[in-house]
Amino acid sequence: MADPDDDYVYDEASGEWMPAAEAAAKRAAAQIVEVRDAVGNLLADGDSVILTKDLKVKGANQTLQRGTVIKSIRLTGDPQEIDCRHEAIKGLVLRAEFVRKR
């Protein structure tokens, strides 16, 4: 039950009046981005992933070999990109389609 002192806002998507807190929670849930790896597993911040393909790294003149473990990934706002660290490469951004969850 909503608090009687709560402000109500009009939700244009549903066409109903709802408590402001409920509307804010609904907007926050809509902004959550799901990032999935090459086989469809859901990824989260802090996961470890394994490369499924040899990848040439632009600007580093280095190739990351298939099977390389990348620890402690961070999700970006893009559902296809993950930010990660590798001991030889700083600021590495990988596409989710080339990794699988460990």
Q: What is the CATH number of the domain that holds 40?
A: 2.30.30.40
Among residues 9, 44, 5, 43, which one has the least CA distance to residue 27? 9
* Within a domain: 19: no
Question: In this predicted structure, what is the pLDDT of residue 52?
Answer: 96
Domain that holds residue 86: 35-101
DSSP the chain: ---TTS-EEEETTTTEEEEHHHHHHHHHHHT---EE-TTSPEE-TT--EEESS-EEETTTTEEEPTT-EE-S-EE-SSTTEEEEEETTEEEEEEEGGGEEE-
Question: In this predicted structure, what is the pLDDT of residue 100?
Answer: 95
Question: In this predicted structure, what is the pLDDT of residue 1?
Answer: 52
* Within a domain: 64: yes
Name the more confident of 59 and 94.
Answer: 94
* Within a domain: 13: no
The 10 Å CB-count burial string (b at 16+, else e) for 32-58 is: eeebebbeebebeeebebbbeeebeee
* Within a domain: 75: yes
* Within a domain: 48: yes
pLDDT digits 0-9 by tens, 2-22? 555 678 888 887 888 988 888
In the chain, the number of structural domains is: 1
* Within a domain: 67: yes
* Within a domain: 77: yes
Among residues 80, 93, 85, which one has the least CA distance to residue 43? 80
Global pTM exceeds 0.75: no
* Within a domain: 53: yes
pLDDT digits 0-9 by tens, 24-75? 888 777 777 789 999 999 999 999 999 999 999 888 888 999 999 999 999 8
